[in-house]
Structure 1
């Protein structure tokens, strides 16, 4: 017994030493957000190629913003690459995820090429998904025309210190920057749901996202630049140079690797598809046809979204009244859909007034976060019982032509809604507790019937039988999924395309008190 107590005391002392040491390490290397303030560079009528191309268009549509929906992943990549190549003044890039994969390296190479031409490049990334990329990020930051900052970063970049920091800062580390923005010369912006990575640009051989961005030209881009500046200069943005350093030769080697990969055989094959995209063909034939509107507004959460903030400034406080104001129809697209009691009450209040409410979300098989599906499943029966129409995206399309470079399976990543065929939203905001209360989000508000019609058509495309199952309750009140594809509909009595263990995990997750984190 004495020996047991002896070893127990040693274990407790070791644990105490680790905890105290971890806390000391956290405090010792916790730099403040010491980056020098900087702001968007002012636009000029004819300073850059983008200025010169847009000048006559903006003059012909005074006060209006041009907009193009980007539903195709290849087009979405092309829009970013072309704007980077045409930029002559600045690139401001803000993302939740930037993968170090084929498309990530291709777009990093475009940013590097722009910096070589003298373009000022500012890159703001959320740190939670930047783990293991410090070498590449420091290599980019080492260029004299590139500055890279991380949002709410770990001060301890690896090892036990990182784990202890997560324990100590668990509440604050749970707040992440989910924004997505690509801004060139303060004149062109791409805002929407896509991060940077193969799955977002129809380049993954297995799974690709059905997603949506808006390409904006003109006045509303200034709003996006103002939002970027607010985040860039906030207390949450820390220069990567404050968090680590690398050998200059190692940095040069990393940059050389990025350029080499961006010119390799795999890149060439993908870029051949990009060259054939409709957007690229239209751009080089001067045939792009943006819709010009004065009903476009870029909006976002405050940069530091803590509980003590004025909630009236949170994005959710602007979006929920829009949906509640519906008089005939509210259509929502959200890959992660956990409406909570409050959201469910809002939606069922609409159906109670005879308003058509439709939701497109991921099926369990298409959802990449099973725990989120458990949160959604808790509300599914109530929503159906109160007359909400539910459609769940299937992983494999049926009888429908798909983009040429798409993988074998699909998942929903579009975040949007349209109300009464007149106004709507496209952005990064999911209908879930994390987007409402924890993450920062941004997007584009639309008050324009033409654009609302296009957004409604995207909802109808995603809810089409070829892409989605219709979820309903049978006469006995049991949950069912209808596969509506020809030659005849098939009724399924359990989550389609999902095996036993996946369904069991979802059921188990539903018992846990984790909804606030979903």
Structure 2
């Protein structure tokens, strides 16, 4: 037995060592022809013509609207795809094989059929099993699909072995989310493409946030997309798997069939009935116009960039420097680390109101991340930082050590009711150091007011527990939905087994991976 264990350990070490020594040679080559965003024209497409008078009335300014509602976020993507006449540039960490994924894939295909150029860039870590559908889309002459940091091996045990061998390079993922139509409209924020992100799965209490942009700041998003699309980390899917063009016809037929069934119609009827979606369809939105809106991102080859000044984390951290009256943070995965904790405690000591909304253990799909957060919870409470944890509502996604599906998925902050950020960046080591992230930075009181209202809504008694320290120093959770508030001594709605596993994980030296 010991002999076999020894040989197994030797094989594992050999596999990982070969990956370290040969990492660059093992990574699939980027063979795609470079391309860039198609430049906007004054009146070439319906979007150009519709936006022209508004842009002329607000020279140099970008229109921005927060989209906290999933139905509105779906409607905005579907509407922009239908209006697009030039290009769709789509960049996502995940595109699920579910109802919303299929509905939006059909919109993308319909746009390509009209002659719209489509570039679809997906992170490869979540594309297992999707190759047939992605290859079918890629077979369309107007659609090109590329995968970020992909696996050579597309299925089975060989993919697993490659994950072990290339562990250190595979660990770096593209977490960006952007939907860009005609270089005029951009949707940037926390949403991947899937049912839970767009309120199509009503069994979970899922909360997320996008920002809809119209105008000059969209050029920032387009430039970011081009950097990633043309980087050595982006590989055409056709270079990884042979194409079978006839699959396109089967995919289109399957999408048409599913999009016409009862479940799809029920969802689309809900979208159509949404008051704000109706305002969007009727061009009755009232966005905020501002010259102080930018879209920012990490570089595509983030971990190979020795100079961190171009990374998103230092740019976000700089906003916390100085004296503030209020700093409100929303992060589903919140692992502040020693430096982040010191920063928040320093702000609180200086008189700043500091508040954080994050997931409770029961609402968090990643106990490993929650274990990292709970290490700092008592210290933050002692230092005067307000903590609110989102309640679990109904069934929650199956818990795993790593994954996605938490009830809260919004990543944002607002400072002094004047400026803020909405994007893909979690306040954890993975977002800071491993994954590429992007988002919208703004310095505008009207947008800040809306974002602050979203924070206050999430912190409401009906949606979250408020934390405090008990007499013995242990955290307590206040259920403020009843009067007087109910005081809970343990992680609410989380069984002893989940609490135990989370505590055991907290002893492991894995914080840098969270």
Give the TM-score taking structure 1 as reference length.
0.92
Deviation at 1:209, TM superposition (A): 1.9
Instruction: Please give the secondary structure, in 2, of the residue aligned with 1:55.
Output: helix
Matched, 1:389 2:386: yes
Instruction: Please give the secondary structure, in 2, of the residue aligned with 1:214.
Output: strand
Which of 108, 111, 120 does residue 108 from structure 2 map onto?
111
Residue pairs, 1:309-458, within 5 angstroms? 309-396=306-393, 411-458=407-454
Q: Verify the 8 A CA contact 1:29 1:156 in the aligned structure 2.
A: no
Deviation at 1:28, TM superposition (A): 9.1
Deviation at 1:255, TM superposition (A): 2.9
Deviation at 1:208, TM superposition (A): 4.3
Matched, 1:501 2:497: yes
- Rounded to whole Å, the distance in 1 between the matches of 2:109 and 2:98 is 16
**Deviations 1:429-487, CA, capped at 9 Å, x for gaps:** 00000000000000000101111111111111101111110001023322100001134
Q: Verify the 8 A CA contact 1:395 1:410 in the aligned structure 2.
A: no
- Rounded to whole Å, the distance in 2 between the matches of 1:353 and 1:493 is 30
Q: Verify the 8 A CA contact 2:16 2:165 in the aligned structure 1.
A: no
Question: Compared with structure 1, are the counterparts of its residues 141 and 467 closer, same or farther at alpha carbon in structure 2 (3 Å cutoff)?
Answer: same
Deviation at 1:10, TM superposition (A): 9.8
**Deviations 1:40-72, CA, capped at 9 Å, x for gaps:** 001011111101110001011111000111010
Deviation at 1:261, TM superposition (A): 1.3
- Rounded to whole Å, the distance in 2 between the matches of 1:421 and 1:483 is 27
Structure 2: give runs of 5+ residues left out of the alignment: 395-404
Question: Compared with structure 1, are the counterparts of its residues 326 and 468 closer, same or farther at alpha carbon in structure 2 (3 Å cutoff)?
Answer: farther
Deviation at 1:5, TM superposition (A): 11
Deviation at 1:20, TM superposition (A): 12
- Aligned match of 1:41: 38
Deviation at 1:145, TM superposition (A): 0.2
**Deviations 1:294-324, CA, capped at 9 Å, x for gaps:** 1100000001111543101110010011023
- Aligned match of 1:231: 228
Question: Compared with structure 1, are the counterparts of its residues 429 and 326 closer, same or farther at alpha carbon in structure 2 (3 Å cutoff)?
Answer: farther
- Rounded to whole Å, the distance in 2 between the matches of 1:387 and 1:316 is 24
Give the TM-score taking structure 2 as reference length.
0.93
Question: Compared with structure 1, are the counterparts of its residues 140 and 326 closer, same or farther at alpha carbon in structure 2 (3 Å cutoff)?
Answer: farther
Equivalent pairs counted in the alignment come to 504
**Deviations 1:387-434, CA, capped at 9 Å, x for gaps:** 10000001139xxxxxxxxxxx97110000011111110000000000
Larger CA deviation: 352-361 vs 14-23: 14-23
- Rounded to whole Å, the distance in 2 between the matches of 1:70 and 1:452 is 14
Question: Compared with structure 1, are the counterparts of its residues 13 and 365 closer, same or farther at alpha carbon in structure 2 (3 Å cutoff)?
Answer: closer
- Aligned match of 2:199: 202
Question: Compared with structure 1, are the counterparts of its residues 454 and 141 closer, same or farther at alpha carbon in structure 2 (3 Å cutoff)?
Answer: same
Question: Compared with structure 1, are the counterparts of its residues 7 and 492 closer, same or farther at alpha carbon in structure 2 (3 Å cutoff)?
Answer: closer
- Rounded to whole Å, the distance in 2 between the matches of 1:510 and 1:327 is 32
Deviation at 1:287, TM superposition (A): 1.5
Deviation at 1:258, TM superposition (A): 2.0
Structure 1: give runs of 5+ residues left out of the alignment: 398-408
- Aligned match of 2:480: 484
**Deviations 1:495-515, CA, capped at 9 Å, x for gaps:** 001011110110110011110
Matched, 1:58 2:55: yes
Matched, 1:511 2:507: yes
Q: Verify the 8 A CA contact 2:359 2:406 in the aligned structure 1.
A: no
- Aligned match of 2:400: none
- Rounded to whole Å, the distance in 2 between the matches of 1:12 and 1:332 is 44
Residue pairs, 1:155-234, within 5 angstroms? 155-234=152-231
Q: Verify the 8 A CA contact 1:22 1:161 in the aligned structure 2.
A: no
- Aligned match of 2:402: none
Larger CA deviation: 481-490 vs 40-49: 481-490
Larger CA deviation: 356-365 vs 261-270: 261-270
Task: Tell me the C-alpha RMSD between the 2 structures.
Answer: 2.6
- Aligned match of 2:397: none
Deviation at 1:185, TM superposition (A): 0.2
Question: Compared with structure 1, are the counterparts of its residues 339 and 160 closer, same or farther at alpha carbon in structure 2 (3 Å cutoff)?
Answer: same
Deviation at 1:281, TM superposition (A): 1.3
Instruction: Please give the secondary structure, in 1, of the residue aligned with 2:107.
Output: helix
